[in-house]
Structures are given as structure tokens and as C-alpha cells.
Amino acid sequence: MSKPTPRRATALLALYLALGIAFGFVLTQSEVVSWYRIQEMFHFQSFRMFGIIGSAVATAAISIAVLKRLGVRAASGEPIAIPTKKLGTGIRYAVGGFLFGLGWALTGACPGPLFSLVGSGATVYLAAILAALAGTWLYGWLRPRLPH
Amino acid sequence: MNAILHSEWPWYVAGPLIGLFVPALLVVGNKVFGISSNLRHLCAVIAPGKIEFFRYDWRDAGLWNLLFLAGVVAGGFLAAHFGAHAIAISPAARVTQAGFGIHDFSGLAPREIFSWAALGTLRGFVSIVIGGLLVGFGTAYAGGCTSGHAISGLANFELPSLIAVVGFFAGGLLASWLLLPALLGGAL
């Protein structure tokens, strides 16, 4: 596996930035960043969010299958391979997922939207980002004592 | 063009567009789409301390993702300025949320909770600060969020991600049905 040249590496970094801009735009336009939509979803009062998440997963799944079948290489030169997550006891996924779910409904935002909301002018979400950083730091500190 | 930017995108347009970021990142650099790793990278940049979880080469592991994240902020800005439109939730949702004490349905989130002025109130503090803390702790513990587990993980048929997503919804349902009514409905 060859490392990309410095010039190519810089071009790739610019591409990540461009993709991020597109993602922030799509997140906001599709309204998945909205507290109103998140509450509507958790109260099963519209199909919209379920349709969005379901069709996003289906699109991604079909894309991954096609990329694997074609044996596509990434522009960086690496073969495309997705590392699989270790199951372990599964506790981290169940408990961590549950705690994130509480936060998702309270803030009305997952991590991507926390950042796009700040960009869209809802600057109070900066406080939520700082709190999220504190939460991640707390996890890092407690990690050796937590079941995984 | 203007009409597309200033109207609600149907779910079958929005969903596939979001899903396409998974192959896009794989094709560019064999990167797995997942936003919450950035919270870890930012901790590693700002305050790694002596904590093993934050002591790694964040430039090597996460520079690409931090740039993606910077783009997300810019994308939010662009959408707000060129694509702003009112959010039309269903009538049933409006009744429920009015029951939470929401009167002003403008913007992406209710100003009555999500504003600097409301941050000092109990409802604002719990929604923003406690909510944010849970997002950060929960995603780090679970090793992913809606993008990493619900989209990338489910699309790759991974059991850990399915468990995490069931957890997301269990937590979200509890907060949305029990915590929020108590917090916002004035019972607290």
C-alpha cells in the first residue's frame, strides 16, 4: 500500500472539507437537525425521519455492496475495507446507545447537527458542544473502570 | 433552483443524499463515515491529559474528519442563508409540542429552550448542557452516533450497531415521552 504524495494528500484533505460542507448543507435542508422533527419522530407523528434514516441506510448498504463487488480502490490508493466493530459483551453499545438517545431527544440533535446548527446561527448549541466534549472527556477518564 | 432550496425536501430525496456520504468517503480515502469520533479527536487536541483514550496521533487518525466537521459548520451556515424555510411538522406533533409549552415554532429549534437567555433556566440547562453531556458520553461509550452506527454500521450489517441503534431509540423514547413532558410541561 503506497502512501499518497504530499500534493495528493492535500487535495484529498480539501475534498473532505468540501464533502463536509455538502453534508452540513444536506443535514440542514433535510431538517434532521431540527428539535421539532426529532420530537415528532420519537412520538411517531410522521414517517419522515424514519423514511430518511431508512433510505439513507439502504443507499449506503447498496453502495457498499457495489464498491466491494467491483473491488474499487480509494483515491488515496488504499483498497476499500471497512473494519468491523468488536461485539464484546455488548454492554457499551446498549448502555452508551441508551445514554446518547437521552441526549439526542433532549438536545434535539446528534453530533453532526450540533455543529451545523451553530453554523446556521443557533449559537447556543456551542454550549451543547462544550458539554458534549466534557462528556466524551469524562468517558475517556472513566473508561478503564467501565464494562465494555 | 430557488424553489428547491426554499422548500421541504421529501424524505426519499433527503435520505439517499445522506446515505451517499458513506460511499463518497470510502471512495475518497477509505474513510468510514462517523461524526462523533470528532469529539474524541477534539479532546485529544485540546486536553488529552494523561488519559490513554486521548493519547494518539490525532492528525493521522482524525485530521480528515475534523476538516469534514469544519465543513459541516460552513454547510449549516450556507443552508441557513440560501435555503431557509419554515419547518412544517405534522399537526399531531404540533399539538404535542404545544403541550410541552412551545409557542414559537420558528427556526430549527424552539427559542424558548434553545437560546442564550434560556440557558440559565432549568429547561434550557437540562436540554442544552445535560443533553450535550449525554450526547458526548453516550457516543464515546457506544463508539458511534447516528452516522457511525445507524448509517455506516447498519449499512455494513454489524450487530454492535444494531444494539446501539436500539439503545438510541430506547433512550430517545424515554426522554421524549417522560423527561421532556416533566421538564417542559411545568411538572418539575
**Closest C-alpha among A11, A16, A29, A98 to residue B139:** A98
- Residue in chain B nearest A52 by alpha carbon: B15
Residue A71: band (very low, low, confident or very high) from pLDDT cuts 50, 70, 90: very high
Which one of B32, B38, B134 would you mutate to disrupt binding with A, by most A Cβ within 10 Å of its Cβ? B134
Instruction: Please list the alpha-helical segments (H only) found in chain B.
Output: 2-5, 11-19, 21-29, 37-46, 58-82, 91-99, 122-125, 131-142, 154-155, 159-174, 180-184
Residue A147: band (very low, low, confident or very high) from pLDDT cuts 50, 70, 90: very high
pLDDT attached to residue A111: 97
Name the maximum alpha-carbon separation found in chain B: 53
- Residue in chain A nearest B4 by alpha carbon: A29
Residue A7: band (very low, low, confident or very high) from pLDDT cuts 50, 70, 90: confident
pLDDT attached to residue B187: 46
Nearest beta carbon to residue A45 from set B93, B108, B179: B93
pTM (2 decimals)?
0.95
pLDDT attached to residue B85: 82
Nearest beta carbon to residue A101 from set B16, B116, B167: B167
Q: How many CB pairs under 8 A join A and B?
A: 519
- Between residues B187 and A31, the one the model is more confident about: A31
Grid cell of A30 as nine digits? 433535510
DSSP structural state of residue A108: S
State the burial class of residue B49 (Cβ atoms within 10 Å of its Cβ: 0-12, 13-18, 19+): middle
User: What angle is formed at CA A82 by the lines to CA A77 and CA A88, rounded to 5 degrees?
Assistant: 145
Contact call for residues B173 and A75 (beta carbons, < 8 A): no
Which one of A50, A106, A126 would you mutate to disrupt binding with B, by most B Cβ within 10 Å of its Cβ? A106
- Tracing cell 448542557 back to the chain, one arrives at B129
- Residue in chain B nearest A71 by alpha carbon: B27
Instruction: Please list the alpha-helical segments (H only) found in chain A.
Output: 6-29, 35-42, 48-70, 91-107, 111-119, 125-142
Mind giving me the DSSP string for B34-52? -STHHHHHHHHHH--TT-G
pLDDT attached to residue A50: 98
pLDDT attached to residue A8: 85
Cβ distance of B26 and A54 shorter than 8 Å: no
| pLDDT, tens digit, 9 for 90 and up, residues A15-29 | 999 999 999 999 999
pLDDT attached to residue B185: 76
Sequence-distant (≥ 6) Cβ neighbours of residue B59 within 8 angstroms: none
User: What angle is formed at CA A92 by the lines to CA A33 and CA B122, rounded to 5 degrees?
Assistant: 50
pLDDT attached to residue B188: 43
| Predicted complex: ipTM over 0.90 | yes
pLDDT attached to residue B2: 75
Residue A2: band (very low, low, confident or very high) from pLDDT cuts 50, 70, 90: low
Nearest beta carbon to residue A43 from set B18, B132, B176: B176
Sequence-distant (≥ 6) Cβ neighbours of residue B171 within 8 angstroms: A97, A98, A99, A100, A101, A102, A103, A104, A105, B138
Nearest beta carbon to residue A56 from set B19, B69, B118: B19
pLDDT attached to residue B84: 76
- A28 vs A41: CA distance, rounded Å: 16
Task: For chain B, list residues with pLDDT below 70.
Answer: 1, 186-188
| pLDDT, tens digit, 9 for 90 and up, residues A79-131 | 999 999 999 999 999 999 999 999 999 999 999 999 999 999 999 999 999 99
Cβ distance of A128 and B130 shorter than 8 Å: no
- Residue in chain B nearest A3 by alpha carbon: B29
Grid cell of B43 as nine digits? 479532546
Cβ distance of B80 and A102 shorter than 8 Å: no
Nearest beta carbon to residue A35 from set B114, B141, B157: B114
| % chain A with pLDDT above 90 | 91
Residues of B in contact with A46 (CB under 8 A): 89-90, 93
**Closest C-alpha among B170, B114, B64 to residue A100:** B170
- A114 vs B26: CA distance, rounded Å: 24
Distance (Å) from the alpha carbon of B186 to chain A's nearest alpha carbon: 16
Grid cell of B26 as nine digits? 470510502
| pLDDT, tens digit, 9 for 90 and up, residues B71-82 | 999 999 999 999
Cβ distance of A136 and B136 shorter than 8 Å: yes
